[in-house]
Amino acid sequence: PDAPIGPLTGLSAVERARVTASARPTPPAADGPPGLWDRFAATVERCPDAVAVTDPAAGHTLTYRQLDRAAARYAAVLRRAGVGAGDRVIVQVDRSAAEVVAVLALLRTGACYVPVPRETAADWRTEVLRVTGATVAVTSAGLRGDWPERVRPVAPWAPDPAPDDESQIAQPQPQPQPRTADSTAYVSFTSGTTGTPKGVEVPDRAVIRLATDPDLLRAADDEDPGRRRSMLRMAPLAFDASTLELFHPLLNGDRVTILPPGPAAPREIGAFLREEGVTHAWLTAGLFRLMARHEAAALGALRQVLTGGDVVSPAHVRTVMEAGPGLRVTNGYGPTENTTFTTVHHVTSAEEVGDTVPIGRPVNGTGVLVADEAGRPVPPGVDGELYATGLGLAHGYAGDAGRTAAAFVTLPWLAGERAYATGDVVRWDDTGRLLFRGRRDRQIKVRGHRVELAAIEAHLRARPGVVDAHVSAVGTDDSDETDRAVLAAVVGPPASALRELVTSLADTFPPYARPALWCLVPSLPLNHNGKVDTAALAARAQPTE
Ligand code: ADP
């Protein structure tokens, strides 16, 4: 059972009302069937001839009707491989229309998908199999050998020679299996901060609440309300930005536009956005920075760019807004455990960008609470841990009741509402928006003292000539704190300015908090998840004398 947190003692009536109002999830925006497949089927009925998926690399374009048929036929293939309702099935397929078909066919079969990236360590795969009990894997050619023999491989969907061949359509297809709001849509593995994979089990309702948020994505065209959005599909399926990229379009009759598989440089992404007429894109904070520097015009030409997953740099938001005055840039914040977004903040002009980009307000069907270490709500202006409530919450961690109970708590003063403790430190500003302040675990200890890495980072970012900064801890996590050091990576200033940066920190921070290791880099290196690659920075760092 989830552990309670609270209480609301000591709060004024006004404070109490404010806290309960924001912690209570906003009501869901749209009515419709409770299961994800049925929601998709309803879209197919609404706009059968609209384009659902474009996969230029493979040369496929599928309308909603064609995608529905492809999913039905591929569901029959999965059934023959033994897949049934409630099963968990590995999906390890390159970014493609075939990946979309695999996901939909699994949902139609009553199963759920377990995305696994192309490059995974053997230990990771073993853990995924152990935790999910998966016995079937949809895998691209060349990847099947990675799995043990007891895992049955199924080749991904390939288009039929004659897509409109009536004899094929007439073949009996298994009926879609019933799904409920509670059915698991996918199990997404994140490494967490400790390195051991955690399988986050996400229910249908959580995905539906994201895809039906009426304010999340603006229309493709203010003048032509009938014009459909075209959403870039880029994030690895194992990364939950893919939930937005796939299901927002597919439940709204919009187009999923698939970037060719494999790594892509900013220039190639920019060219793709232009050539394919993409209107909406989600980029990690790191890729957003790179695109802002090299392809600002390509982003400026979109209707909306969503970014997040990490602290978003205000300078780069400004650059992109200046390149596209009609654009909307959205800072989307949230952990996988609360399904892609917990809060969002929309920026609509370059002028409004201050020294931080707020993470904003809760999305559809979501509530938030900011509380101190004892679980007591804190007033605006005070840092506390963010808790999320509502329809976006995951069931928990597959096969790990202990971790689930530690992270998912209940609010006794809100009729036992369930809440996820994000581990993120935030505060309310005086206009009712949330500001991201750092990770709880970015609060490190050096020789017994607490160090806020985010605070050092903010200080460096505000120095003249600094385009970007990243501060991390190097050294072991659990051992003696004496061998831990703070590393600062800085983008922008010339090497001769380093001295000045070091001195400027000495004015503000005590000696133990000052970075002992420094590096000047042309841009922050990113790992395959699009987050700042701290290991690469550590390899380059030099000690200050
Ligand atoms: P994501 O897919 O968003 O990276 P993870 O579950 O891997 O999801 O990581 C979630 C964590 O990433 C959050 O708890 C927070 O620390 C950080 N994060 C996500 N979005 C933002 C954002 N917009 N600003 C700052 N930090 C963010």
Q: At 135, is the secondary structure helix, strand, or coil?
A: coil
Q: Please list, residue by residue across 123-152, b when 16 or more beta carbons sit within 10 angstroms of its beta carbon and e when fewer do.
A: ebbebbbebbebbbbbbbeebeebbeeebb
pLDDT average, residue stretch 208-216: 96
- Calpha distance 96→248 (Å, rounded): 17
pLDDT average, residue stretch 371-379: 89
pLDDT average, residue stretch 242-258: 98
C-alpha 472 to ligand 1 mean position (Å): 16
Listed in sequence order, the residues at least 6 apart from 132 whose beta carbon sits closer than 8 Å to its beta carbon are 88, 90, 114, 187, 199, 398, 399
Determine the atom of ligand 1 nearest the C-alpha atom of 239. 2
Q: 212 CB less than 6 Å from ligand 1?
A: no
What pLDDT does residue 1 have?
43
Parallel, antiparallel, or unpaired: how do β-strands 3-4 and 408-411 relate? parallel
Q: Give the count of beta carbons closer than 10 Å to the beta carbon of residue 487.
A: 22
What pLDDT does residue 529 have?
74
Identify which of 187, 333, 346 to mutate to test ligand 1's pocket (most ligand atoms within 8 A of the CB). Answer: 333
Q: Alpha-carbon dihedral of residues 393, 395, 401, 406, nearest 10 degrees? A: 0
What pLDDT does residue 145 have?
76
Q: 440 CB less than 6 Å from ligand 1?
A: no
C-alpha 341 to ligand 1 mean position (Å): 9
Work out the pLDDT band at 195, boundaries 50, 70, 90. very low
Q: 286 CB less than 6 Å from ligand 1?
A: no
What pLDDT does residue 479 have?
36
Q: Confirm if 96 and 55 have CB atoms less than 8 A apart.
A: yes
- Calpha distance 101→58 (Å, rounded): 14
C-alpha 335 to ligand 1 mean position (Å): 5
- Calpha distance 52→197 (Å, rounded): 33
What pLDDT does residue 545 have?
61
Average pLDDT, rounded, for the chain: 90
Q: 35 CB less than 6 Å from ligand 1?
A: no
Q: Confirm if 370 and 428 have CB atoms less than 8 A apart.
A: yes
Which run of H or of E encompasses 39?
A: helix 36-46
pLDDT average, residue stretch 154-170: 68
Q: Confirm if 459 and 502 have CB atoms less than 8 A apart.
A: no
Work out the pLDDT band at 230, boundaries 50, 70, 90. very high
Angle, helix 36-46 to helix 204-211, in steps of 10 degrees? 40
Q: 55 CB less than 6 Å from ligand 1?
A: no
Distance from the first to the final alpha carbon of the chain: 53
What pLDDT does residue 480 have?
43
Q: 190 CB less than 6 Å from ligand 1?
A: yes
* pLDDT tens digits for range 168-192: 555 667 899 999 999 999 999 876 4
State the amino acid at position 77 in one-letter form. V
* pLDDT tens digits for range 481-538: 456 789 999 999 998 889 999 998 887 787 878 899 999 999 999 887 778 888 899 8
What pLDDT does residue 448 have?
65
* pLDDT tens digits for range 105-121: 999 999 999 999 887 77
pLDDT average, residue stretch 241-254: 98
C-alpha 545 to ligand 1 mean position (Å): 35
DSSP 233-261: E-S-TTSTHHHHHHHHHHHHT-EEEEPPS
Determine the atom of ligand 1 nearest the C-alpha atom of 332. 23
Name the token pair of 381. Answer: 């202006």
Atom 24 of ligand 1: nearest residue by CA position = 311
Q: What is the 3-state secondary structure (H, E, C) of 454-465?
A: HHHHHHHHCCCC
Q: Alpha-carbon dihedral of residues 517, 523, 524, 530, nearest 10 degrees? A: -170
Determine the atom of ligand 1 nearest the C-alpha atom of 331. 23
| Structure-model confidence comparison of residues 507 and 281, the more confident one | 281
pLDDT average, residue stretch 149-157: 95
- Calpha distance 410→2 (Å, rounded): 6
ipTM above threshold 0.95? yes
Q: 341 CB less than 6 Å from ligand 1?
A: no
Q: Considering just the CA atoms, what is the radius of gyration of the chain in Å? A: 24
Q: 335 CB less than 6 Å from ligand 1?
A: yes
What pLDDT does residue 430 have?
93
Q: Confirm if 395 and 201 have CB atoms less than 8 A apart.
A: yes
What pLDDT does residue 454 have?
81
Work out the pLDDT band at 162, boundaries 50, 70, 90. low
pLDDT average, residue stretch 411-431: 94
C-alpha 60 to ligand 1 mean position (Å): 33
Residue 182 CB burial class (10 angstroms; 0-12, 13-18, ≥19) = exposed
- Calpha distance 41→330 (Å, rounded): 29
Parallel, antiparallel, or unpaired: how do β-strands 417-428 and 434-439 relate? antiparallel
What pLDDT does residue 484 have?
75
What pLDDT does residue 378 have?
93
Q: Give the count of beta carbons closer than 10 Å to the beta carbon of residue 311.
A: 24
* pLDDT tens digits for range 68-86: 999 999 999 999 999 999 9
pLDDT average, residue stretch 312-326: 94
Q: 436 CB less than 6 Å from ligand 1?
A: yes
Asked whether residue 157 carries a pLDDT value surpassing 70, the answer given is yes
| Structure-model confidence comparison of residues 237 and 483, the more confident one | 237
Q: 397 CB less than 6 Å from ligand 1?
A: no
Asked whether residue 354 carries a pLDDT value surpassing 90, the answer given is yes
Q: What is the pTM of this model?
A: 0.85
